[in-house]
Structure 1
Amino acid sequence: MSEISIRIANLNDLQTLLEFEQGVVAAEKPLDPFLGEGTLSYYNIPELIAAEHIYFIVAVSNEEIVACGYARIDNSKIYQKNPQHGYIGFMYVKPNFRGQRISTLILESLKDWAKEKALKELRLDVYDNNISAVKAYESFGFTKILVNMRMDI
């Protein structure tokens, strides 16, 4: 395994990040029958890069971007104990770099940023039937708290 470095994403990374976004969509389409057809866009990537309340990072190996993820400061519900929390999103690792603990490096960096912002909790969304992702997040310390359910009518 080559050395992996973490850095803040910038607009020069846009083309690679757009490709990663389609990788996320492709991985999630078989898991979610409610996703639309054709090319889908989940993220406004330039906005994620520019926002002050978002820490968007990439993992780099030999000058190649191989993974990404972000943490965003979100307001919690008024009845929850922490007024704000960090929300983790757009976690993606290129297929030929998976299994090298790169997502752990990204999650550690996002967690450190959230601590610097005095946040007390992190949250994320993951498909319940995405077993490998659920296991990876659980091994990092996340726990399931709520199941979101849907139906066609």
Structure 2
Amino acid sequence: MKEIKIRLATTEDIAVLKSFEQGIIKAERPFDETLKPDPISYYSIENLLKDDATAVAVATLEDKLIGSAYATITPAKSHLKHSKYAYLGFMYVDPEQRGKGVNKSIIDFLFRWIKEKNITEVRLDVYSENAAALRAYKKAGFKEHLVNMRMKI
């Protein structure tokens, strides 16, 4: 059986990571009418890879990248119990590999990195109408916490 491996991303992965980013944007576009028309970009992948407070993880299958995510250590608001937290983003899994635990494996890898940094709080954002992503994150142990609302006037 082919083994899925998780590792830190390198600069050699940038082209594939940029294609993953476009996959994320394509998947999220139906949930967000405020996104500009293509081409857009959410991340500076190069900067994420250089940032000591960020870990970009990738999943590989036979040396082919099939998924990604990052964790970044972020200062918390002063009124919270924790002074820092880890924010997860850039979560993508190749459509052919979905439902095989790839996202959970990446999250588990990032959780180990987060724990090494002595961080105990982890957060992420997900569109409220993205039922598949909500299921995946709940399955990974996340709980709904805060609803961000908007309106156009």
Shorter chain as denominator, the TM-score bin is over 0.9
Distance across 2 between alignment mates of 1:17 and 1:54: 15
Runs of 4+ in 1 over 6 A off after TM superposition: none
Task: Write the mapping of 1:65-144 to structure 2, written as runs, cut at 5 A.
Answer: 65-144=65-144
- Cα RMSD for the two superposed structures: 0.8
Distance across 2 between alignment mates of 1:61 and 1:53: 27
- Structure 1 residue runs without a partner (length 5+): none
Give the aligned partner of residue 36 of structure 1.
Answer: 36
Task: Write the mapping of 1:24-63 to structure 2, written as runs, cut at 5 A.
Answer: 24-63=24-63
Deviations 1:88-145 (A, max 9, x none): 0100001011010000000001111111100011000000100011011111111111
- Helix, strand or coil at the partner of 1:47: helix
Distance across 1 between alignment mates of 2:143 and 2:12: 35
Instruction: Note the C-alpha offset of 1:36.
Output: 1.0
Distance across 1 between alignment mates of 2:60 and 2:126: 24
Structure 2 counterpart of 1:21, one-letter code: E
Give the aligned partner of residue 148 of structure 2.
Answer: 148
Distance across 1 between alignment mates of 2:63 and 2:85: 32
- Helix, strand or coil at the partner of 2:151: coil
Distance across 1 between alignment mates of 2:107 and 2:126: 14
Instruction: Note the C-alpha offset of 1:38.
Output: 1.6
- Residue correspondences, number: 153
Using structure 1 for the length normalisation, give the TM-score. 0.98
- Structure 2 residue runs without a partner (length 5+): none
Structure 2 counterpart of 1:140, one-letter code: A
